[in-house]
A and B are shown apart, each in its own frame.
Chain A
Amino acid sequence: MRELRVLLNQTQKVRLQAALQHLRDLSFQASSPAIPVTIADTIPVNREDGILKGHGTLEFNGQVVATQCGVVEQVNKLVYVRALKARYKPEVGDIIIGRVNEIAPKRWRIEINFSQDAVLMLQSMNLPDGIQRRRTAVDELNMRSIFEENDVVCAEVRGFQHDGSLHLQARSQKYGKLERGQLLTVPAYLVKRRKQHFHHLEQYGVDLILGCNGFIWVGEHVVLGENEMPEDQESRMENQEQNFTPLKVRQQICRIANSVRLLSAHGFSLSLEIILDTAEASVSSNVEINDMLGAEFYVQTAEREVQRRASLLKKSRR
């Protein structure tokens, strides 16, 4: 995603610096200071024996050196280097959003924010008519009617293949093709793993899906039911015309999408509360949707975050 370029005037710059400084102080109070390292820096360890060398470390000349730039983290005996520009690290059961890159024999190759394309097998996908049966050659030829190139798809990680690429499955109703919305790309480390990744925002009538790989989907709400896919082109076209997304819903989609863009530009972790907070603040201060990406709201968001974290810290202290 293109970085947000915000032109701040002098007072806004001062306010932003003050807010960022507050955030740094707050995080300093909350957790122990972390040691930044660059490549081939020795990592200071207390006990030489019994240290497990984790990701991003290497043993050299009896010392532990870093192979990546980042921050040293220690969990009991495990020492590892957490890279700042962390790539997405997939785990089984992650909810993922991706775009279909190509259609291969009996599978779709899906581009997620990872070093390799993920694979969605035809067998891991529910057939349109919902019947559980063996996939035949006709099914294989009709793969294009389910997903085409450049479709946005939501799926779950089933496992890893032997070469490290991901195996996806989309067997439940909530997975599948995503239409009528926006796909946003944020750095993957901003989306933490939670219990719920599918959110339905009632007051806006919008679906929000936070993919663990850093792809976020904001779209029109889809009623989950036994959807019967229309078999032919004409009826599908008619359906689309009748179900034209109203302007109000589109505006809400843009508003939520802009709050996500704003928060990722700041580098704040994305969660439902903070996104809703930002959207509500923009509505209450009567900020126009396109002005949300402007300088003033940018600085206000940082200040609001300072207050939020300060109050959280107070609450946890009590």
Chain B
Amino acid sequence: MATAPTSTYSPSNSWERARQQQKKSLFRKEDWVRSDGRNFHQCRPAFLRTGATNAASGSAYAEFGSTKVIVSVFGPRESKKAMMYSDTGRLNCHVSYTTFSAPIRGQGTDNKEYSSMLHKALESAIILETFPKTTVDIFALVLESGGGDLPVIISCASLALADAGIMMYDLVSAVSLSCFGTNLVIDPTTEEEACRDGSFMISYMPSRNEITQFTLTGEWSTAKINEALELCLDACSKLAEIMRSCLKDNVLS
């Protein structure tokens, strides 16, 4: 993709911008078909396995389309001595990307934003009073980032926590949704995420009918939020069923 040398300085190549705008308008058409052939309200097929890491107390591996995540849980184990005595346990989350996770190879980064979001999504689901003065460490490694990373990380992490035997109120399943004009598209891929108008992500505990985390960006009207909420809650319940059957297979074997 050669750039024609221009005599004046301009912030972006006009050819690039035209391509971007073309893509955006494509996504707004009513009859747009998604690149992997799903319809707007269809999530990617989920592949979940527990017991991926031997060294960890609990671990899980999730593959949602091309997003592959592995989560290991260590704990409960000793807190650092600097921390004061606390009646409740601590949760320590760490999300990192491998160097080969993005299409363009880059440095493996430590995603602090995702780490704190993972913490907020999970801390209300775990019964922290059962392990005072100790810490549970959650390490999430994104092997391939194909879009919708954080929901996959959250679901995989709650599966790993269940595998580790940590007491929880319920399994947390998470789903994200993107908005393109009037279209609501569930479980977006990276290219869809790049040109979206707004995003909506919830982490939900189905048996308790409680939302642990709700993230909304962009411009949304009340009607659209309601519709998106319904879609996502339904998707989360179905995902939780899949997670449950994965755990049951583990228990029975």
Contacts and interface: CB of A to CB of B under 8 A. Distances in A.
B165 A86 contact: yes
Contact of A40 (B58, B76, B166, B171): B171
Given A36-B252, A67-B169, A68-B167, A85 B77 contact: no
Given A38-B244, A115-B75, A117-B78, A60 B167 contact: no
A163 B165 contact: no
Given A60-B208, A68-B165, A115 B76 contact: yes
Interface stretch (B14-22, B95-103, B129-137): B129-137
A116 interface: yes
A56 B76 contact: no
Contacts of A164: 132-134
Contacts of A68: 162, 165-168
Interface string A58-80: 10100001011111000000000
B168 A39 contact: yes
Given A163-B133, A164-B132, A36 B165 contact: no
A2 interface: yes
B164 interface: yes
A115 B85 CA distance: 15
Contacts of A115: 75-78, 131, 134
Chain B CB within 10 Å, residue with most, of A36, A69, A71: A69
Contacts of B132: 163-164
B251 interface: yes
Contacts of B207: 40, 65
B251 A38 contact: yes
Interface string B235-253: 0000000001001101110
Contacts of B165: 68-70, 83-87
A165 B57 CA distance: 19
Given A60-B208, A116-B77, A38 B133 contact: no
Contacts of B54: 2-3
A84 B168 contact: no
Contacts, number: 77
Contacts of A56: 167
A182 B170 CA distance: 41
A67 B127 contact: yes
Contacts of A85: 57-58, 163-165
A39 B251 contact: no
B73 to A, nearest CB: 11
Interface string A178-207: 000000000000000000000000000000
Contact of B251 (A69, A86, A116, A163): A69
A38 B158 CA distance: 12
A67 B168 contact: yes
A94 to B, nearest CB: 19
A97 to B, nearest CB: 19
Nearest to B244: A38
Interface string A156-184: 00000001110000000000000000000
20 contacts: A36-B248, A36-B252, A38-B244, A39-B162, A40-B169, A40-B207, A40-B208, A67-B167, A68-B166, A68-B167, A69-B247, A69-B250, A71-B251, A85-B58, A85-B163, A115-B75, A116-B78, A117-B78, A164-B133, A165-B133
Given A116-B78, A116-B133, 12 more contacts: A2-B54, A38-B247, A39-B169, A40-B205, A68-B162, A68-B165, A68-B168, A69-B163, A69-B247, A69-B250, A70-B165, A116-B77
